[in-house]
Structure 1
Amino acid sequence: MNPPISDLTDRAREIFRLVVEGYLQDGQPVGSKALAGEGSVNLSPASIRSVLADLESVGLLAAPHTSAGRMPTETGLRLFVDGMMQVAEPTKEERATIKQRLNDPGPIEHALEATSTLLSDITGAAGMVMVPQREVRLRQISLVSLAPNRALAVLVGEDGHVENRVVDLTNAADASTLEQASNYLTARITGKTLPEAIAEIAREIASGKSALDKASSDLVQRGLAVWSEDTTQRPVLIVRGQANLLDDSALEDLERVRSLLDDLENKQSVASLLEDAKTADSTRIFIGAENRLFALSGSSVVASPYRDREGKVVGVLGVIGPTRLNYARVVPMVDFTARSLGKLIG
């Protein structure tokens, strides 16, 4: 079991802090000569090496084989973040820039994309925003023939949002069947959310109260299945700034970066990770193997929930990058951006 910060001596705590801060600043292991040369540690290099060895023995520091210096382990980073880190709040100018970037006119989707890009720009990592699962009230569904056994379902929301889905049919459907199914669906979905409409129509068909013939009933249920499946499988994550992950240090560990970029391609899995931050009261930090998804790439995620004007959590945003993220700067930036975005969500 690793010691809490309070169990370290003042000398060990100070040296540990300097090693972590030095590593987070330039990504390189920190050696005893560098620590002695800074003048902040009034010890000889030999005494410093002894303290470094003690910190390594309890799992807080590690010595890469290519260097005599030390760098924090993931356990050490967690200890530092939870017990020693002094966050640097965004400056007045930075807060103004964030608000300005997010307040450009346009649909909320544009604000979400701007948020992801903004997070990437201000942190030098990749920015991520989980899109709110909007419960759109529906206005109309139309079914249009594409081929004898295929139809196009056109769903229109009360806000004017339109989505199209292709429906494969068991049997060929003529124009009359498509029109009957369209009228039936529209009459029952108007003013309802998709889950509400699906539940009502399913109950009506199951109870035998539906006036649909067999062909139209099959068409309705297939159309609903397509929409229901799409609701659960729809991409829910906007990622920007992946190129930031390909910095100079990435050349030393291309396999790790390749693994990270592959993970980011699986947006549904990343969104599942971010779901864990939805219930948090504030910004959460996942370091390396603390989350299984990024265990191989050794990456860190800083994520914060954002709320609508009523205080309801509607999504999560954050950044992902190497474990040597500048947490003291990134954490308050992510937190402030989450609060700023929340003010735009109706």
Structure 2
Amino acid sequence: MQLDIRAQTLLKALVERYIADGQPVGSRALSKLSGLDLSPATIRNVMSDLEQMGFIVSPHTSAGRIPTPRGYRVFVDTLLTVQAFDETAVESRMQATLSGKSPQKIITNAAQVLSSLSQFAGVVLTPRHESVFQQIEFLRLSKKRILLVIVSPGGDVQNRLLLTEVDYTPAQLVQAANYINQNYGGLSFDEVRLRLQNELRSLRDDMTRLMQAAVEAGSEAMTDDSEDVVISGECNLLHVGDLAANMGSLRKLFDMFEQKTGLMQLLDMSSKATGVQIFIGGESQLMPMDDTSIVTAPYEVNGRIVGTLGVIGPTRMAYERVIPMVDITAKLLSNALSH
């Protein structure tokens, strides 16, 4: 819906003032804030039009107006002036926090940096680990009990116990391990699973079952330790007046943090887009809370998008600060994780 310049200016002034102090904005205040030479009656008429269009609403206790999620959306998409961000100070702080540690630690630190800078909750969707192995070994422990030893390309070793229906001989176990290592070493277990279906028909059925059991156990072993979503600073949200006033909404938000499913879907969806994404109120359907927004950006490892990070806070957040903050953190995390 097209708004004329006058309506855009008033809506921008109203949203900015409301974000700054959280109080409904009246026409007299707007007259001063907008810089427009308009009579109070004209401003009231424009406000009435904006209200009919669903961009602002009047709380029943006040003559002033506040933005709706739809009003925030127009503001963010077309009216927002992103603040010049002090990149150097933030960059040095982040690089000191993000460098020289394991990937999981770097990701956890990125969530903490977002949380401490925004004073809201910082979230990072961790990279999907392809469960790649360099080689495997089968060790016969006793009748129908086999230890599967998995060695990753980086030299990490994982062990899994396999309970089998067949009592395999040591020679059969060596044969099966050699077949997998020679044909599939360096691939992910998911790729092996697909190829096994087509390539093992010529082998005996019990050998096929052993290899399939190894692939299933190996895939679990390589993904067991990875945390899908790292969340930092949830407690900050308890001190945000707009959210704390609505305990039902806050409880729903914390349930979502605990379950993580909807949050993961939302972050996963964000990783398929380029640049910063902003989900306001309930418009994503995955976070159906009108008083909550999430600002996200994808991050990369060696040029390939592998995950998303973001800030979760109230719809009344300083988007002009949070957007560049999320963008810069995504770039720094990409650099820290890339070789």
TM-score by shorter chain over 0.5: yes
Q: 248, 255, 259: which is aligned to 1:255?
A: 248
Q: 1:296 deviation in Å?
A: 3.5
- Which residue number in structure 1 is paired with residue 259 of structure 2? 266
Cα separation, 2, equivalents of 1:304 and 1:277? 7
Q: 1:64 deviation in Å?
A: 2.2
- Which residue number in structure 1 is paired with residue 231 of structure 2? 239
Q: 208, 219, 233: which is aligned to 2:210?
A: 219
- Paired-residue identity, %: 35
In the superposition, relative to structure 1, how do residues 140 and 253 fare at CA in structure 2: closer, same or farther (>3 Å)?
same
Cα separation, 2, equivalents of 1:339 and 1:302? 15
What CA deviation, in whole Å up to 9, does each residue of 1:44-73 have, x standing for no partner?
Answer: 655544432221111110122243321111
Q: 1:129 deviation in Å?
A: 1.4
Q: 270, 294, 302: which is aligned to 2:295?
A: 302
SS of equivalent residue, structure 1 residue 274: helix
In the alignment, is the contact (CA less than 8 A) between 1:89 and 1:333 conserved in 2? Answer: no
Q: 61, 66, 69: which is aligned to 1:71?
A: 66
Q: 1:116 deviation in Å?
A: 1.1
Cα separation, 2, equivalents of 1:35 and 1:123? 27
In the superposition, relative to structure 1, how do residues 175 and 339 fare at CA in structure 2: closer, same or farther (>3 Å)?
same
Q: 1:95 deviation in Å?
A: 2.5
In the alignment, is the contact (CA less than 8 A) between 1:260 and 1:297 conserved in 2? Answer: no
Q: 1:149 deviation in Å?
A: 7.3
- Which residue number in structure 2 is paired with residue 155 of structure 1? 150
Cα separation, 1, equivalents of 2:142 and 2:281? 50
TM-score (norm: length of structure 2): 0.84
Cα separation, 2, equivalents of 1:320 and 1:39? 29
Structure 1 gap ranges (5+): none
Cα separation, 2, equivalents of 1:247 and 1:145? 57
Q: 1:82 deviation in Å?
A: 1.0
In the superposition, relative to structure 1, how do residues 204 and 128 fare at CA in structure 2: closer, same or farther (>3 Å)?
same
- Which residue number in structure 1 is paired with residue 89 of structure 2? 93
Aligned amino acid, residue 106 of structure 1: K
Cα separation, 1, equivalents of 2:219 and 2:240? 45
Cα separation, 2, equivalents of 1:293 and 1:145? 47
Q: 188, 195, 201: which is aligned to 1:193?
A: 188
Q: 1:96 deviation in Å?
A: 2.1
RMSD: 3.1
| Bigger Cα displacement from structure 2, 71-80 vs 19-28 | 19-28
Cα separation, 1, equivalents of 2:289 and 2:312? 14
Q: 117, 121, 127: which is aligned to 2:116?
A: 121
Q: 124, 133, 142: which is aligned to 1:138?
A: 133
Aligned amino acid, residue 210 of structure 2: L
Q: 1:164 deviation in Å?
A: 4.9
What CA deviation, in whole Å up to 9, does each residue of 1:159-213 have, x standing for no partner?
Answer: 123445565x46375674766655554454422232333333333323x2x2xx5
Cα separation, 2, equivalents of 1:148 and 1:89? 68
In the superposition, relative to structure 1, how do residues 113 and 41 fare at CA in structure 2: closer, same or farther (>3 Å)?
same
What CA deviation, in whole Å up to 9, does each residue of 1:9-50 have, x standing for no partner?
Answer: 42x333212210122223332233544576956556555444
- Which residue number in structure 2 is paired with residue 171 of structure 1? 165
TM-score (norm: length of structure 1): 0.83
Cα separation, 1, equivalents of 2:249 and 2:61? 17
Q: 1:89 deviation in Å?
A: 3.0
SS of equivalent residue, structure 1 residue 343: helix
In the superposition, relative to structure 1, how do residues 143 and 315 fare at CA in structure 2: closer, same or farther (>3 Å)?
same
SS of equivalent residue, structure 1 residue 128: strand
SS of equivalent residue, structure 2 residue 136: strand
Aligned amino acid, residue 25 of structure 1: A
What CA deviation, in whole Å up to 9, does each residue of 1:119-163 have, x standing for no partner?
Answer: 111112211112222435412334567997776644320112344
